[in-house]
Amino acid sequence: MYKKLLLATATALSLLLPAISQAGQGCEQKPPTVGMVTKGIAMAVKTVEQLNASGADVVIIGRAGQDLSKYKQHYSHLGFAYKENGSWTIVHKLNECDTAISNIYEQGMGQFFLDDPFRFETAIAIPTPEVQQRLRAVLTDPQKLLTEHTPNYNMLSYVWSTKYQQSNQWVLETLAMAQEPVIHNREQAQAWLKFKGYEPTVLTLGPMTRLGGRMFKANIAFDDHPNEKRFSDRIETIGADSVFAFLEQSGLQLSHIVITL
């Protein structure tokens, strides 16, 4: 089960619902195999062991949900993980399958690896203690957690637009908000990221690829991208790899580990 965090009026509501959302992999629903469940649990156990050994209590975690090698990308999806009362909780943004809507969810570590990933591999960025402390204050406060969230989902949302938002974009903008108390909206978070030197992922997508994605996928749009970039086949979005690179070069990261089965 997932725990979904929704904003209703001025308060955050929590509720349980079936696991119908995906990010970082396809939306095809199929029964889990024994082998997949066994590997997912083993991956979760191994990850928790290494997280506990690291001494961290807040990290940014990535998984390889899809094969993105043709785009020269390794990891597909990011989330936060924090430790409380001895257990690790994943907080991430997931797209409701076959729609252009998303929500913020909480999961256990085991659930995070039971979504049929392309590859059982995770990358973990361990922030500095100060960054961890600031992130924890956001991750444990439902209203703060939803401050940077835009429900309108676009898998290839433009990095410097607020019309849509994809999963890795929410992680990056929430990270920015946590670092500066003066940040209260997405525009301010994006300005901070520009100032800190974040470089987006650049994908080369021709007009036929764009047309096919827009026509047949509810969660893909290109109308938030500047015309001069879009019509030159330059799509600037937020890949997980670019976020890991930013964490390293910006000094926000203490260490980085990769875990595989």
29 φ/ψ angles, rounded to the nearest 5 degrees = -90, 125
Enter the tokens of residue 19: 């696991």
Give residue-wise pLDDT tens across range 49-76: 999 999 999 999 999 999 999 989 999 9
Give residue-wise pLDDT tens across range 128-183: 999 999 999 999 999 999 999 999 999 999 999 999 999 999 999 999 999 999 99
Nearest to 103 by CA among 187, 16, 183: 16
Enter the tokens of residue 206: 């021709």
Report the alpha-carbon distance of residue 18 to residue 199 in Å, rounded: 36
Residue type, 227: N
Q: What is the pTM of this model?
A: 0.88
| H or E stretch at 187 | helix 186-195
For 135-184, give the secondary structure using H, E and C.
Answer: HHHHHCCHHHHCCCCCCECCCCCCCCCCCCCCHHHHHHHHHHHHHCCCCC
Domain that holds residue 172: 2-260
Look at residue 231 in the predicted model and tell me its pLDDT.
Answer: 85
Q: Is 87 helix (H, G, I), strand (E, B) or coil?
A: strand
Q: How confident is the model at residue 98 (pLDDT cuts 50, 70, 90)?
A: confident
**Higher pLDDT residue, 108 or 24?**
108
Q: What is the mean pLDDT of the chain?
A: 87
Residues with Cβ within 8 Å of 128's Cβ and at least 6 positions away in sequence, in order, are 251, 252, 253, 254
**Higher pLDDT residue, 123 or 26?**
123
Residues with Cβ within 8 Å of 224's Cβ and at least 6 positions away in sequence, in order, are 154, 157, 158, 161, 163, 164
Look at residue 125 in the predicted model and tell me its pLDDT.
Answer: 98
How many domains in the chain? 1
Give residue-wise pLDDT tens across range 3-34: 655 433 222 223 223 333 455 455 666 677 88
Going by their DSSP bridges, the two strands 253-260 and 102-108 should be labelled as unpaired
Q: What is the CA radius of gyration of the chain?
A: 17
Look at residue 212 in the predicted model and tell me its pLDDT.
Answer: 52
Enter the tokens of residue 236: 């600037």
Look at residue 19 in the predicted model and tell me its pLDDT.
Answer: 32
